[in-house]
Amino acid sequence: MSDRIYTLSGYLYEYQKSVTQPEEFWARIADSFHWRKRWSKVLKWNFDEPNVQWFIGGKLNITENIFERHLFTIGDRPAIIWEANDPNEAGRTLTYKELFYEVNRFANALKSRGIGKGDKVIIYMPMVPEAAIAMLACARIGAIHSVVFAGFSSSALADRVNDCEAKAILTSDGNFRGSKKIAVKAVVDEALEKSSVETVIVYERTKQEVTMKEGRDFWWHEVIASESEQCPAEEMDSEDMLFILYTSGSTGKPKGVVHTTGGYMVYSQYSFDNVFQYSEGDVYWCTADVGWITGHSYIVYGPLLAGATTLMFEGVPTFPDAGRFWAVVEKHKVNVFYTAPTAIRALQAYGTEPIQKYDLSSLKVLGSVGEPINEEAWHWYHTHIGKNKCPIVDTWWQTETGGIMVSPIAGITPTKPAYATLPLPGVQLCIVDPEGNELTGNSVEGNLCIKFPWPSMIRTTYGDHERCKQTYFSTYKGMYFTGDGVKRDHDGYYRILGRVDDVINVSGHRMGTAEVENAINEHPKVIESAVVGYPHEVKGQGIYAYVIADLTNRTEDNLINEIKEMVSKIIGPIAKPDKIQLVPGLPKTRSGKIMRRILRKVAEGSLDNMGDTSTLLDPDVVTKIIEGKK
Ligand code: WT7
């Protein structure tokens, strides 16, 4: 791999090059891919509109770069190793050649159902190889996939189906998760009650009973039965949409982040190769779900473009017991392991006994993603999992960035606990004060922006370009605003401090406070609510909801439980508030704005200094809220 960074000075050299000559830099990286037609210009950009285009005029198909580009050399290498939820169930291994045939067969099946270039396809599936096959089959024929995490409720699914006007849904009968069997198809049926989706393809996983609607619903194994394992790849433009992925923001409605083909391809492989320092024959395991961006970029696209062996795990870290991750590492001799701080903290609580039973000597590199990793968890991971010999790559990035932006290069960048360290080549960070002035030099703290485009960046929010502009490009002129606070220390190392907007990060899952409030407000007894995040030992942040409600015919406990169920039904169990406090009023300014700063302080229990409350309409309400806190 000629684009591989091998030394710290190599990194510094490449970084410098990527800043002084970005077009030459990215052209060199992109040249190792297969383009049916090479681009005519590397980059055009304008952050005011915003309008960003990479590898302009280039024609390609991303699956040709996974398969045809190196099938001759790696056809018999395992592409996906699948580990089932139940350790007693046999897993599966698909070589590159086998995966290629499966992708083609399913791509042909989609075509036979009238799905083609530009059509939107929702994927709502468990962690089985068919989820990856579904994504790649869409990419093969130029259909645009939108994967929805299978833990989302029917109404959250319906919102996404309707927003992107999906033509088809790919799903399963059910889903095994730990000791539970979850109805998946039934959720889809409910979501589709008021929609015009023409086709539903159902993968048989749990064999539980489902209803199939004549003419709309088809079984996966039946639709592929007579399809050929050859399917020509559709020719795509660099800037054709590859996928839409919905994520939460500060307003109630999740937004569809749009990623396009050429830039995303180049960046996902480049960042995968370098950050993890993957070497041939390694087994790489990212524990995320394909429903999140981590699953897109670092279970499916990045590793498969790189010709790596990627492990997909269907289950949960604590089933059948808290040693499961380590059992899987031993069983498959995992070399690179990439997980979330929340999983580390959850396992930390079980002590080291579940680890000691297993041989973890295959591990070479550990990764962390999704939220700030606290020093304690970092040390635990380093000592007990990495046995003090594996570098930890703390990778900062976002759904919108498409790929890892700030991270050590494994084994090359000296690490510091809780620091994402340094930007990858091509990533021009900028720290600004609230007025948007750049804070230069070291030992500064402020809001994190990016001042130059990178290939895998968000292009638009689906169906609403103005929202993309407002959310990311309007807070600070001429810059992409990440929504995160950051510190650059005396060594120039970056430490991400967490969100500075109305987004909370619960177990690495992003949630908009307004989104949760909207769900709470659906309860007929609720008059108004305000949601904030608060520090949570395992989840990183928990959800704290302040609710004004009418208690007639309800006890407090009943109502609180009903509200939790309501949120679970409207968004999904991941959004269920950890704490709900019924309050007589909310701290509002005279202009009606809720002062969340105060609510955050109460939720985290720092009650002594509330700061200036003189602008509040009714300062007494704060006292009442503090008194009512349990
Ligand atoms: C937000 C993005 C990137 C894939 C998973 C989450 C937080 C992510 C880190 C990290 C500190 C992190 C940020 C970011 N975040 N990685 N290594 N250190 N914070 O993707 O759902 O789009 O969330 O997750 O706050 O803005 P996402």
Give the pLDDT confidence of 408-423 residue by residue, as tens digits. Answer: 999 999 999 999 999 9
Element (H, E) at 573: none
Top mutation candidate among 344, 371, 472 for ligand 1, by most atoms within 8 Å of CB: 371
Is the entire prediction scored with pTM above 0.85? Answer: yes
How much distance in Å is there from the Cα of 91 to the middle of ligand 1? 31
pLDDT of res. 629: 86
Ligand 1 atom nearest to 397, measured from its CA:
3
Ligand 1 atom nearest to 483, measured from its CA:
26
Ligand 1 pocket by Cβ (under 6 Å): 247, 292-294, 368-372, 394-399, 420, 482-484, 496, 498-499, 505, 508, 510
Ligand 1 atom nearest to 510, measured from its CA:
21
Distance CA 369, CA 417 (A): 14
Grouping H, G, I as helix, E, B as strand and the rest as coil, residue 190 is helix
Task: Give, using CA atoms, the residue closest to atom 1 of ligand 1.
Answer: 398
Share of the chain above pLDDT 70, in %: 100
How much distance in Å is there from the Cα of 62 to the middle of ligand 1? 25
Using pLDDT thresholds of 50, 70 and 90, give the confidence band for residue 625. Answer: very high
Distance CA 246, CA 22 (A): 29
Beta carbons within 8 Å of 401's beta carbon, 6+ residues apart: 450, 454, 456, 457, 458, 482
* Mean predicted lDDT score pLDDT of the chain: 96
How much distance in Å is there from the Cα of 92 to the middle of ligand 1? 31
Distance CA 9, CA 295 (A): 31
Cα angle 212, 218, 222 (rounded to 5 degrees) comes to 130
Ligand 1 atom nearest to 294, measured from its CA:
4
pLDDT of res. 194: 81
How much distance in Å is there from the Cα of 541 to the middle of ligand 1? 13
Distance CA 62, CA 264 (A): 9
How much distance in Å is there from the Cα of 483 to the middle of ligand 1? 10
The number of residues making up the chain comes to 630
Top mutation candidate among 275, 450, 505 for ligand 1, by most atoms within 8 Å of CB: 505
pLDDT of res. 592: 80
How much distance in Å is there from the Cα of 499 to the middle of ligand 1? 9
Q: Is the pLDDT of residue 111 over 60?
A: yes
Summarize pLDDT for 381-402 with one digit per residue, the tens. Answer: 999 999 999 999 999 999 999 9
Using pLDDT thresholds of 50, 70 and 90, give the confidence band for residue 271. Answer: very high
CA distances from 184 to 61, 208, 565 (A): 31, 10, 18
Task: Give, using CA atoms, the residue closest to atom 6 of ligand 1.
Answer: 370
pLDDT of res. 616: 84
Beta carbons within 8 Å of 332's beta carbon, 6+ residues apart: 81, 83, 283, 285, 311
Ligand 1 atom nearest to 406, measured from its CA:
17
CB of 540 closer than 8 Å to CB of 342: yes
Ligand 1 atom nearest to 248, measured from its CA:
21
Which H, E and C letters describe 154-185, residue by residue?
Answer: HHHHHHHHHHCCCCEEEEECEEEECCEEEECH
Lowest mean pLDDT among 168-182, 502-516, 585-599: 585-599
Task: Give, using CA atoms, the residue closest to atom 2 of ligand 1.
Answer: 398
Cα angle 483, 484, 489 (rounded to 5 degrees) comes to 150
How much distance in Å is there from the Cα of 170 to the middle of ligand 1? 27
Distance CA 365, CA 611 (A): 44
pLDDT of res. 304: 98
How much distance in Å is there from the Cα of 371 to the middle of ligand 1? 5
Using pLDDT thresholds of 50, 70 and 90, give the confidence band for residue 618. Answer: confident
Q: Is the pLDDT of residue 326 over 80?
A: yes
Summarize pLDDT for 203-214 with one digit per residue, the tens. Answer: 999 999 999 999
CB of 296 closer than 8 Å to CB of 310: no
Top mutation candidate among 496, 503, 504, 574 for ligand 1, by most atoms within 8 Å of CB: 496
How much distance in Å is there from the Cα of 79 to the middle of ligand 1? 27
Residue type, 143: A
Share of the chain above pLDDT 90, in %: 92
Mean pLDDT of 482-501: 96
pLDDT of res. 485: 96
Summarize pLDDT for 15-62 with one digit per residue, the tens. Answer: 999 999 999 999 999 999 999 999 999 999 999 999 999 999 999 999
Q: Is the pLDDT of residue 451 over 80?
A: yes
Summarize pLDDT for 332-368 with one digit per residue, the tens. Answer: 999 999 999 999 999 999 999 999 999 999 999 999 9
How much distance in Å is there from the Cα of 482 to the middle of ligand 1? 10
pLDDT of res. 249: 80
For 618, list phi and psi in degrees, rounded to 5.
-140, 90
Top mutation candidate among 286, 397, 419 for ligand 1, by most atoms within 8 Å of CB: 397
pLDDT of res. 1: 52
Task: Give, using CA atoms, the residue closest to atom 18 of ligand 1.
Answer: 372
CA distances from 376 to 121, 373, 380, 381 (A): 42, 8, 6, 9
How much distance in Å is there from the Cα of 630 to the middle of ligand 1? 31
